[in-house]
Amino acid sequence: MSTPRFGQGILAAALILALLSGCGTKPDPAAPAKTPETKTPEVKSPETKTTETDPAAVDTPAAKTPDTTAATDMTAIAEEAMIYGLPLVMNYTAVNEYFINEESGQYKCPMNQLYNSAQVFTPADTAIVTPNSDTPYSFFCADLRAEPIVFSVPAVEKSRYYAVQLVDMYTFNYGYVGSRATGNEAGSYMITGPNWKGETPPGIAKVFPCETEFSFAVIRTQLFNPADMDNVKKVQAGYKVETLSAFLKQPAASPAPQIDWLKVDKEIAQKDPFAVLSFVLQFCPPTGPAKVEESLRARFAKIGIEAGKPFPTIELTAAQQAELKAGAIAGMKKVKEKVATVGTDVNGWQISSPMGDRAFFNGDWLLRAAAADAGIYANDAVEATYPFTRVDENGQTLDGSKHNYTLTFADDAYPPVNAFWSVTMYDGKTQLLIDNPINRYLINSPMLPELKKNEDGSLTLYIQKDSPGEEKASNWLPAPDGPIYLVMRLYWPKETPPSILPPGKGTWKPPGIKQAE
Closest CA to 430 of 11, 70, 123: 123
Give Cβ neighbours of residue 359 (< 8 Å, ≥ 6 apart): none
Alpha-carbon distance 433 to 119, whole Å?
14
Round to whole Å and give the CA distance between 322 and 329: 11
Quick one: residue 243, left, alpha or beta (phi over 0 = left, psi -120 to 50 = alpha)? beta
In a domain, residue 147? The reply is no
Answer whether 225's CB lies under 8 Å from 448's CB. Answer: no
How far apart CA 482 and CA 430 sit, in angstroms, is: 11
Any domain includes 409? yes
> In total, how many domains does the chain have?
1
Question: Is 472 inside a domain boundary?
Answer: yes
Per-residue confidence (pLDDT) for residue 20, from 0 to 100: 42
Task: Give the integer Cα–Cα distance in Å for 446 and 449.
Answer: 7
3-state SS, residue 325 = helix
Query: Residue 411 domain-assigned?
Result: yes
Query: What's the DSSP call for residue 282?
Result: G
Measured CA to CA, the distance from residue 108 to residue 111 in angstroms comes to 10
Residue 484 located in a structural domain? yes
- Could you list the residue range(s) of the whole structural domain that residue 420 is in? 387-515
Residues contacting residue 186 through CB under 8 Å, at least 6 positions apart: 152, 153, 154, 155, 238
Helices 365-375, 318-342: axis angle to 10 degrees equals 70
Where are the alpha helices (H) located in 96-215, listed in sequence order?
none
HSE-CB of 478 using CA atoms within 13 angstroms: 14
Report the distance separating Cα 442 and Cα 175, nearest Å.
Answer: 29
* Burial classification of residue 469, based on how many CB atoms lie within 10 Å of its CB (0-12 exposed, 13-18 middle, 19 or more buried): exposed
pLDDT by position in tens, the chain (length 517): 334 344 444 455 455 444 444 433 333 333 333 333 333 323 222 233 333 333 333 333 334 444 556 666 999 999 999 999 999 999 999 999 999 999 988 899 999 999 999 988 889 888 677 888 899 999 999 999 999 999 999 999 999 999 999 999 999 999 999 999 999 999 999 999 999 999 999 999 999 999 999 999 999 999 999 899 999 999 999 999 999 999 999 999 999 999 999 988 645 667 789 999 999 999 999 999 999 999 999 999 999 999 999 999 889 999 999 999 999 999 999 999 999 898 999 999 999 888 999 999 999 999 999 999 988 999 999 999 999 999 999 999 999 999 999 999 999 899 999 999 999 999 999 999 999 999 999 999 999 999 999 999 999 999 999 999 999 999 999 999 999 999 999 999 999 999 999 999 999 999 999 999 7
408 within a domain of the structure (yes/no): yes
What is the rounded CA–CA span in Å between residue 190 and residue 206? 6
For residue 392, give the CATH number of its domain: 2.60.120.1600
Q: Are 477 and 400 in contact (CB under 8 A)?
A: no
Query: Helical H runs in 198-310?
Result: 229-237, 244-247, 273-280, 294-301
Task: With respect to residue 345, please indicate whether it lies within any of the assigned structural domains.
Answer: no
Identity at 424, one-letter amino acid code: T
Q: Which H or E run contains 367?
A: helix 365-375
- Candidates 350, 420, 375; CA nearest to 134 is 420
- C-alpha to C-alpha distance for 442 and 440, rounded to whole angstroms: 6
Residue 48 domain flag:
no
Are 309 and 278 a contacting pair, CB within 8 Å?
A: yes
